[in-house]
Amino acid sequence: MEIAVKGSLTVNDTELLLNAALDGAGVAYMIDYQVQPWIENGRLVRFLEPWSPRFPGFYLYHPSRRLVPPALRAFIDFVRSRRG
């Protein structure tokens, strides 16, 4: 597959990046869940997959104490509840 690219576009906003890719402006490097619907319906195509690392999930590092501050405990519980 060959893709002709003219000019350059650099953005720091994921919505703008996605819209540019959907409009055919070039290549977008994004996280799977952000573009999955457009890959499934064929509007976007995944390429260079062997060089794209999978996202294993987030990690949270915090001091290991017996008494975790309530705000941190609430955040940890929230993040754990959102895991798929």
Residue range 39-63, pLDDT digits in tens: 999 999 988 888 888 877 778 887 7
The backbone region for 80, taken as left when phi is positive above 0, alpha when psi lies in -120 to 50, beta otherwise, is alpha
Count of beta carbons in the 10 Å neighbourhood of residue 35: 19
Mean pLDDT, rounded, of the chain: 86
pLDDT at 57: 76
pLDDT at 84: 60
| pLDDT, mean of residues 13-27 | 92
